[in-house]
Amino acid sequence: MLGVTGQKRGRFLLYRDEKREPLMVIRDLKKYYPVRGSTIGKKKPIIHAVDGVDFEIYEGETLGIVGESGCGKSTIGRQIVALEKPTSGHVLYQGESLSDMSAGRLRKIRTHLQMVFQDSTSSLNPRKQIYDILAAPILYHKIVERDMLDEEINRLLDLVGLPKSMKYRYPHEFSGGQRQRIGIAKALSLRPRLVVCDEPVSALDVSVQAQILNLLKQLQDELKVTYVFIAHGLGAVRYVSNRIAIMYLGRIVEIADTQELFDDPVHPYTQALFDASPLPAPKLRGRQRIILKGEIPSSINPPKGCRFHTRCPYAIESCRVDDPKLIPVKPGSSHLAACPVVLAQRKN
């Protein structure tokens, strides 16, 4: 679909040749936030939440986005569902830029792009019954006729494994896991093609986490919906994702198929991330572990050159100057990493 939507889109043509059609293309996305507060006369400091990110989301896949808090992963999620406008760059849905759409067109497209929030308590209006919470968007977008509404809501509750007798209850009468199920039902009620799950299980008990993850997987099989799964824990992401992008300070440092990434992490940050979590990764056991020292630098003044060089054990002089690009690990590979040093070492 990309490239056929007019010559204006031509400059967004994929530079990577993939056999599949991307559902969404993110190109050089940047999102800066001014720091709140009054600094009279001085220029306001700016947080570089997302600072130049490129990737694709393919139909039917689950793309995991992993990184520390503040690395910009949730910001990307908000751009994908058009909750915020990017500072620069584009989020292209089926070749169309979300920020260039007319209000009417965007309103229609919004039903395709839904979101499941982390905090299930604040994602449901405390003063409304579940029935009303689910019904309003369905009726507004005329997903079903009014006389089919009851049936549709029963179907949705059934889909997420809640008894339909619960529909007249208020959010505070549910447990965290149940509320997250309702959040999923709400996101799916508009029959979306892409759902951004912004840390959907981080606030839940471990036993409930597994249930919700399994529910998400099962729904994907049934409904062929695409997920962007944002998390800071590797376990959950590894379990649900086909591909994973690792973020550090507003940049993607490595992106690869899940198996490939865990078998052969290239970027030093990815390696450090894996070393820091107690995952069974036999291939890594013989290798020296990378233990990160120091704090993550401020995103107000991100380091020049490679953003990771201040904490990187392999950093060389050029890392302080040259801003590394994402490049294929092997020619033609879909495994991309932004570390020329490690890649050069591997060649030798």
Binding region for other proteins (CB under 8 A) out of 29-37, 76-84, 211-219, 235-243: 76-84
Over the window 164 to 193, marking each residue x when it contacts other proteins by CB under 8 A and - when it does not, the resulting string is ----xxx------------x--x---x---
Please report whether residue 106 would count as binding other proteins according to CB under 8 A.
yes
How far is the C-alpha of 206 from the C-alpha of 79, rounded, in Å? Answer: 29
* Residue nearer to other proteins on the CB measure, 115 or 329: 115
Q: How far is CA 182 from CA 189, 190, 318, in A?
A: 10, 13, 50
Please report whether residue 124 would count as binding other proteins according to CB under 8 A.
yes
Buried b or exposed e, range 148-174, using 16+ CB within 10 angstroms: ebeebbeebbebbbbeeebbeeebeeb
Cβ of residue 184: shortest distance to other proteins, in angstroms?
A: 12
Please report whether residue 115 would count as binding other proteins according to CB under 8 A.
yes
* Residue nearer to other proteins on the CB measure, 125 or 277: 125
Cβ of residue 306: shortest distance to other proteins, in angstroms?
A: 34
Conformational region of residue 64, where left means phi above 0, alpha means psi within -120 to 50, and beta covers everything else = beta
Binding region for other proteins (CB under 8 A) out of 41-49, 114-122, 275-283, 288-296: 114-122
Sign of CA dihedral 28, 248, 177, 207: positive
Please report whether residue 251 would count as binding other proteins according to CB under 8 A.
no
Please report whether residue 126 would count as binding other proteins according to CB under 8 A.
yes
How many residues of this chain interact with other proteins, rule: CB under 8 A? 32
Provide the H-helix boundaries in 226-300: 234-240, 258-263, 268-276
Please report whether residue 123 would count as binding other proteins according to CB under 8 A.
yes
How far is the C-alpha of 273 from the C-alpha of 233, rounded, in Å? Answer: 10
Cβ of residue 218: shortest distance to other proteins, in angstroms?
A: 22
Cβ of residue 56: shortest distance to other proteins, in angstroms?
A: 21
Over the window 130 to 159, marking each residue x when it contacts other proteins by CB under 8 A and - when it does not, the resulting string is ---x--xx--xx------------------
* Residue nearer to other proteins on the CB measure, 18 or 173: 173
Cβ of residue 122: shortest distance to other proteins, in angstroms?
A: 5
How far is the C-alpha of 188 from the C-alpha of 152, rounded, in Å? Answer: 11
* Residue nearer to other proteins on the CB measure, 115 or 312: 115
Sheet containing 113-116, strands listed edge to edge, beginning at the edge strand earlier in sequence: 113-116, 194-198, 226-231, 62-66, 243-248, 251-257, 336-337, 327-328
Label residue 99 exposed, middle or buried (CB < 10 Å: 0-12, 13-18, 19+). middle
Q: How far is CA 88 from the centre of its chain?
A: 18
Containing 252, the helix (H) or strand (E) segment is strand 251-257
Over the window 28 to 67, marking each residue x when it contacts other proteins by CB under 8 A and - when it does not, the resulting string is ----------------------------------------
Containing 32, the helix (H) or strand (E) segment is strand 22-34
User: Of 275, 308, 314, 267, whose CA–CA distance to 291 is shortest?
Assistant: 275
Look up residue 106 and give its DSSP letter. H
Please report whether residue 125 would count as binding other proteins according to CB under 8 A.
yes
Q: How far is CA 185 from CA 162, 209, 228, in A?
A: 10, 16, 17
Cβ of residue 11: shortest distance to other proteins, in angstroms?
A: 28
The residues binding other proteins (CB under 8 A) are: 81-83, 106-108, 110-111, 113-115, 117-119, 122-127, 129, 133, 136-137, 140-141, 168-170, 183, 186, 190
